[in-house]
Structures are given as structure tokens and as C-alpha cells.
Amino acid sequence: MPLTFPAGFDKCVRGGGKVRTIKVGDKEQYMHVCYLGGKSYSGEVKSKKEASEVSTFLKSQGYVEKDNEFIKASTTHLRKLIPQIALSEIFSSSDKTSEIEVLHAGVWEHPQYGTIRITEADIDKFMDSFNEKVRKVDIAVDQEHMPEKGAAGWFRSMKKVFEEGKTKLKATIEWTKLGTQLIQDGIFKYFSPEFDFAYEDMETHEQFENVLLGGALTNRPYFKSLAPVALSENMFAAFAEEKETCSVCHMQIKKTEMQSHMSKVHPNKIMKGGENRMLTKDELKAKLAENAEFALEADASDEEKAAFEEAKAEIAKDAEDKEEADRLAQEEADKKKADEEAVKASEKFISKADHVKEMNEMKSKMGVMEAKLRFKEVSELVDGYVFSESNQKGVLLPKDKKAAVELMMAATPKVADMFKEFLKGLPTVSAKLFTEQGGEGVEATKAKQLEDAITKKMSENAGMKYSEALKIVGSEQPELLK
């Protein structure tokens, strides 16, 4: 009876999906699960015999079995290479370690596997996986890739060098007693590294690129004409040509073109560890930020659509938040500018006020200087009218000098001229003292009478100035001014 499968499982197998055999329960029952495009499709639970028939069917469809897992040979890359490299000539039996060349960048044509390329970037990845201890165990050098024969040496460190026009990966090997004897006795002449281009951790199922699995002492280079760099006859024959199936559209794509195919045809998918996965929300946001017209493919899952809507909503909110932040920042900038302009205007006002103050202070100083100069001039003028031994023609007594100076300082120019004419008309003090005499004794001189009258007038009128009192007395008693 021909085998039948659930529709999803059958489509996955025909699309080149990876198939794993899983034991169900404690009984001898098994189920095959196909993985494709980040999704899983379960087959039917079958007995051990029926499961064996499924395995046979898968092999007839071009699948290769390894570790309870089936991989379609026609759509899988060559993963594991075992080239041959001659042992270093500097090996010495007195030294337990030596440096050997593990591999180098180059291109090889193989009749079964086609073109094999190792680039400088591949060498960097080999170093990274070694330094990060992806294998989680020490890596050994055995005999003819048969670890059951025991370790001939252990990898201790690796480095990249450029020699003879080539980028090479070199390793420091710590040889065991067995390894030292094998090389010293000439039993083995070549070293053959073993590595995986797509290594999967069997415990976590995490994928890693370019992982060194180990190495071996051997004498059988695959290409005799290319020795000491060739491929070993001990080749893993479970992998086929250099194409793989796109898990999104199921097309056959060359490995070297898969990344370009994914970015152009399926931009909302990301390749990681050789498998496709949906974009995360943050990655979708980045896509939308780069291209506002970015959209999911028509066959996107509900989960992808939900993440896409969340990404668009967050971008819209981010845009609103940015607009609000820009508005607040602009308001703050405008306020700061207004404050600065207000400060500048205030500084200008203060500067103008200071200028006016300085001008007023200067005017005040000039006024004081003018007043002092006028006081000096008036004092000298009045001195010419004051009686003294050196000025026998004086008309004013020394005690009257102060009043006369104050009168001249306070008087207007016209009154000051009148007062000077008045002083010129007065008799000299000496003449008044010796010629003006009364019948009942010495009578007061007119000057004395005038002074007394002015003093009296000022005492009768508080706040009256001397010049005002003089004017009033002159009008009331004009004879005192004759």
C-alpha cells in the first residue's frame, strides 16, 4: 500500500524541508516532523516498522539521513570539508608544540561538490567560533579522522597570517606522546582539518557558521597534483551540490545568491544560521523608517501582520512625540532669545542712564568750578571796596565784606552792576569817621545806618535775602543811598 501523509507534511517534504524523527511516548512509536520556512508540519504517529518505511521513502526522494535527521541532498550545500595540508617542517621532537597551517583562502574545483571557496571572511569566522568555544570541548587531532584511536594532539590557539600571497589560518598544536611518535617515525606526513560550514549544536539546535571540528594526521590527499593542499579521501559523502531551497518561495537558489535573493524578493524576512525567520518589531520599524512604503508580503502570517501594525503605531507615536518635543524645544529657544534681547535692551538702557549720570556729574563739577571761579572774582572785586591800611580809599568795613560778597554772588548781573555803582558812590570809611559828627556826639554814618536798616528789615521778614532788603530800604530811605 502506498504511503500517505498529511497535506502540510507532504507539501513540506516536496518543498525540500528538513525532516526529523521523534520518538513518541514509551512505546515503540515514532513521528516524522518536517520544518520549512520557520514552521513545522507533523506526520502521522507510526510504529517502528512504518517509520522505517517513511525513512526509506524519504531517501528515495533524495534525502540523506544523519543523526535522526533527513536533509534533501539536492538542495543542501556542501557543509563539511576535509582538505589536506602538509605538516610544518619546523616540528621538533624536543618541543611538545608546533605551529601548522590549518587552511588558507582559495578556490577548488571538485568533481562531485563543484566549486569550493574559502575566503578571508571565512577564516575570520573560523577563528571567532574557535575563540568563542562553540564546540564546548577541546578540539583534538586524531588519526585519519578516527577519534576512537586517541588524540595525537590538541588545538591550543589559532591566528590569521598573510604569507606567500595567501591569507592563512594557523594553529598551535600541543602534541601528545602518540602524536610526536607518529610524526617522528614518519608514519603520517600530512594534516587534514575537519570543519563545518553550517554547524548545529545538537543540544540547543543553535546554528553557527564555519566551525572547526578537529583535524587528523593522514597520508592520502585527494588531489595528488595539488598536494599538500587538497581534499581528503575520507570525505563525508552525505551532502550534495551548491544549491538550496528558499523556505519562503521554495525556489532553487545558489548559496552565494541566497542573501541577495532574500533582500530583493523577501525583504520582510531575515536569514540567520542558514534559515529564514520573520522580522522582529524593531526590525520592521527600521524598515519603515528607511522606506515609508514598505509592506509585508501577501502570505505574511498573522503574527507578522500584528508585529507590523505595532511597528507602524509606534513609528506614528514616535513621530508625534518628536513633533511635540520639537515644538517645546522651539518655544524654549524663542523664550531664551526673547530673554537675551530683553537683557540686551536693559543693558542699553543702563548704559544710557550711566551716560546721563556721568554728564550730570560733569556738569555739576563744572558748576562748582564756575562758582568757585566767580566767588574768587567777586571776593577780589569786593576787596577793592574794603577799607584797610593798604586801601585807605575803601568804602566798606572789613566786617561787611562777607555780606557784600554774598550779595554779589546772589544778585543777577543787573543788580550786581547796580550794587557796584552804589559802592563807587559811597564816601571812604576814613572820611566818614572824621567828618560826619553830630551835635550831640558822633552820629552814625550813612553806611552804618544803611546796614542797620537792612539788618532790621531781614529780621522782620524771615527768609528775606540781603539784596531784597537793600532794595526795599533804598526805596523807603533813598537818602541812605546818596
Q: Which domain holds residue 35?
A: 7-75
Residue with cell 552814625: 444
393 falls within a domain: yes
Collect all residues with Cβ–Cβ distance below 8 Å to 114 and sequence separation of at least 6: 78, 241, 242
For residues 86 and 232, membership in a common domain is answered with yes
218 falls within a domain: yes
For residues 69 and 165, membership in a common domain is answered with no
Mean pLDDT lowest among 18-32, 229-243, 447-461: 229-243
Mean pLDDT lowest among 123-137, 185-199, 273-287: 273-287
For residues 71 and 174, membership in a common domain is answered with no
Angle ∠(325,327,330) on CA atoms, nearest 5: 110
For residues 23 and 132, membership in a common domain is answered with no
Letter string b/e over residues 109-124, b meaning 16 or more CB atoms within 10 A of that residue's CB: eeeebeebebeeebbe
265 falls within a domain: no
Task: Provide the domain count of the chain.
Answer: 3
For residues 176 and 48, membership in a common domain is answered with no
**Of 175, 204, 238, which residue sits at a domain end?**
238
What percentage of the chain exceeds 90 in pLDDT?
Answer: 7
For residues 122 and 16, membership in a common domain is answered with no
The tens digit of pLDDT for each residue in 309-323 reads: 888 888 888 888 888
Distance CA(246)–CA(275), nearest Å, equals 9
For residues 111 and 231, membership in a common domain is answered with yes
Half-sphere exposure of 175 (CA within 13 A, CB side): 24
Count the Cβ atoms, other than its own, within 10 Å of residue 293. 5
For residues 32 and 104, membership in a common domain is answered with no
The tens digit of pLDDT for each residue in 432-480 reads: 554 444 444 344 577 788 888 888 888 888 888 888 888 898 888 888 7
User: Is the pLDDT at 28 greater than 90, yes or no?
Assistant: no
